[in-house]
Structure 1
Amino acid sequence: MTMPEFFIVGAPKCGTTAMQEYLRQHPNIFMPDMKEINHFADDLLKQDDLFLSRERYLSLFAGGGRNRLIGEASVYYLFSKNAHLNIKSFCPIAKIIVMLRNPVDVLHSRHSQLVYNGDENILDFEASLAAEEKRRKGEMIPPNIRIERKLLHREVVKFTEQVKRYLDTFGRNNVHIIIYDDFKRDTGRVYRETLRFLNIDTGFQPDFKVINPNKRIRIKALQHFLKTPPPSVRLIGKLLLPQSFRHVFVNRLEKLNTQYIARQSMSPELRTRLQEDFASEVKSLSELLRRDLTHWSRD
C-alpha cells in the first residue's frame, strides 16, 4: 500500500503551493494533484468532508508506486490541534515541512484568498479583522465555509505554539523550517535544501514558475455554484463522472472564472498596529527557531 511519508503542514500563504508544485516535478517524488486534503485535521473538518475516511484518503496516493517518496500538503495541519498527533500515529517516521512568513503579510494575503474561495464575505481586510470576536461567538459566519475557525485570523498565525507541537512530537531533525523570505530570495537553494532533508537527489532542476499569485473571481454566482453545488447536481456528478474527472473539470472552470490582479495595499497605520500586536509572537518564534526574525516587527 502506498502512503505519504512527508507532509507540508503550513502555514497558509507562505509558499506551500509553489513548493508542492516544485516537489511534484521531481521524478523521485509523488504528491497528488489535490492540496488541502486536511485528512488529519479532524478537529477542523465536518463529518461529510470527502477525505475524512482513511480509504478515500489513501486512494489519492495509488499512483505513487514503490520507488517514489510520497507526500501531501495541507496548510491547516499546522493550525489544527490534532493533526500532529494523528500524523505521528499514522506514520511515526514522517518528515514534516513547515513554511513561515511575517504574520502581518500572511493575514493580508490570506484574506484575499478567503474572499476568492468564497469563505469570506467581508471584502475589507480591516473590517474582517474587526469581526473576529463576533465570529468567535458564532456570529457573522459566511454560510458555505467548511472550516469556521479559518476566520479566527489571529489564531491562525500563532506560529510559536503551532511549530512547537511538531518539534516536540517529531523532533527537530524531522522538521524542516522554511522562511518565506529565503524561499522568495533564493528559490533554488531552498528547494535543494528541502530535497536534502527528504534524502532525495538534489540534481533535478524544476521549472520555478510563479505559483498562486493574487487573484479574484469574475462571476461570484459561478464560484458559489462550484463551491457548493445543489445536492441534485452533486449526486448526478458522483454517479456519472469519475472523481478525478470531476476534480479536473471544476479546476478548469475555476481558472476560467479567475483574474489575476495586484492585491490592494494595506494602510501604513494598520500595518504598524498589526506589527505591534504580533511583536511578542515574533520574538517567541525567533527564540524557538533560534533565528532572529524581529525585523518582521519593524519592516
Structure 2
Amino acid sequence: MNAEKLFSPDFFIAGFPKCGTTSLHDFLAKQVEVDMSSVKEPHYFAPDIEWYKEKRISKESSYKELFKNDHSVLRGESSTWYLHSECAVSEIQRINPAAKYVVCIRKPSSAIKSLITHRIYSGRERHSSVAAVLNDAESRKFYFESYDYQKILDRFLEKVERENVYFVLFDDLISDCLRVELGLVDFLGLCHPVGNNHIGRKNESKVGRPLVIQKLVSLVPLKVKMFFLRVFGEKFRSFFWRGAKKFSDGETNKSMNIDDDVNRDLLKKDLLAKEYLASLGVNCDRW
C-alpha cells in the first residue's frame, strides 16, 4: 500500500462477516456524533483480499468522499474482512495508532452456515446447499479458516491494544441490544444518548429456492455468474433467487444432511472458540 496515504477514520467495524456488522453500521450511522462511511465494506486498507478486489475502493480521494459530515465527532467505517487481511490493521495503525475496533463475534457453526448461504444467494458459491459445501473438504476449508478466531485475533491483538477493541456478541444483538448500544456509546466516547434509534437485524442470510434452480445455477461457472451479476445486478439475482427464504440458526445439522464427522468438527470449533474468547474476557455462555 502507498506509504503516503495518511487518512484514516477514528474507528472500524472490522469483522467478522455475518455476525451483525450491518446492523451496527446502520445503528451508528444514525447517531448525530458519528459519520459512518456512506458505503459499507469499502475495504480500502485491504488490497490483499482477493474476492473484494472488484468492489474495493482503492483511491484515497474516493475513500474520503465516503465521509460527508464535517461536523461529526467521529468517523467510522465497516469492512468485515479487515481482520483476515495481512496488511489492513498494520496500515491503519501506522496512520492512526489510536484507532478503535469493534469486532462482532458469532458461534462459528452458525456464522459458517450463514456465510455459506449468503455466498450461495449472491452467486459466489459453486455448490447449491450448505450441506454440499460443508461435506466437500476443499470447499469448507475457506469457511472454517474464516472463523478461526484464535489465529486471526491473536495476530490482530499483537498490533492493537486490548483497550481499543470492543467485542459484540451476535446473540446480544438479538436478545440484549440496548446493552450493546450503551456499550458502544461508552466505548467510542460519545456523549449523545442512544435515543429511539435501536439496532435492528439487517442483511439476513438467504438460500435460493427452488432447489432445481439452485442445482442449475450451480452448474454455471462462477466467473460467468459474476459477469452477469456485474452487468445486470439485482435483476439477475432476483430472477434466480426470487423464492429465497431466510436462513435459520435453529436448522439442525441433521436436517441439512451434514456428515457426522463434519458436525463433530463444527461442535469442536464452537467449544474451542468459546474457550479462547473466555481467555480474552468475552463471555459466550449464550452459545
Aligned match of 1:212: 203
**1-side partners of 2:176 and 2:235: how far apart?**
31
Aligned match of 1:229: 231
Residues 23-38 of structure 1 aligned to structure 2 (within 5 Å): 23-38=28-43
Q: 1:82-136, CA deviations, whole angstroms, 9 ceiling, x for partnerless residues? A: 2211111232211110010100000011111111121112122122123343x59
**2-side partners of 1:49 and 1:171: how far apart?**
30
State the SS of the aligned residue for 2:44.
Answer: coil
Q: 1:25 to 1:49 in 2, by over 3 A?
A: closer
Conserved 8 A contact 1:132-1:152: no
Aligned match of 1:177: 167
Instruction: Tell me whether 1:15 sits opposite 2:20 in the alignment.
Output: yes
TM-score (norm 1): 0.74
Work out which of the residue numbers 257, 266, 271 in structure 1 matches 2:252.
266
Deviation, structure 1 residue 164: 2.5
State the SS of the aligned residue for 2:113.
Answer: helix
Conserved 8 A contact 1:84-1:169: yes
Instruction: Tell me whether 1:113 sits opposite 2:118 in the alignment.
Output: yes
Q: 1:258 to 1:194 in 2, by over 3 A?
A: farther
**2-side partners of 1:21 and 1:6: how far apart?**
15
Q: 1:143-179, CA deviations, whole angstroms, 9 ceiling, x for partnerless residues? A: xxxxxxxx71111001122223333322011111111
Deviation, structure 1 residue 50: 4.4
**1-side partners of 2:88 and 2:7: how far apart?**
20
TM-score (norm 2): 0.77
Deviation, structure 1 residue 44: 1.2
Aligned match of 1:279: 271
Aligned AA (2:151):
E
Size of the aligned set, in residue pairs, is: 260
Aligned AA (1:261):
K
Work out which of the residue numbers 39, 47, 55 in structure 1 matches 2:44.
39
Instruction: Tell me whether 1:90 sits opposite 2:95 in the alignment.
Output: yes
Deviation, structure 1 residue 2: 7.5
Aligned match of 1:293: 284
Deviates more, 1:168-177 or 1:212-221: 212-221
Q: Kindly indicate which of the two structures has a greater share of residues assigned to helix.
A: 1
**2-side partners of 1:281 and 1:200: how far apart?**
31
**2-side partners of 1:2 and 1:255: how far apart?**
38
Aligned match of 1:146: none
Instruction: Tell me whether 1:56 sits opposite 2:56 in the alignment.
Output: no
Q: Percent sequence identity over matched residues? A: 25
Deviation, structure 1 residue 295: 6.9
Unaligned ranges ≥5, structure 1: 137-150, 231-249
Greater RCO structure (CA 8 Å; 6+ sep): 2
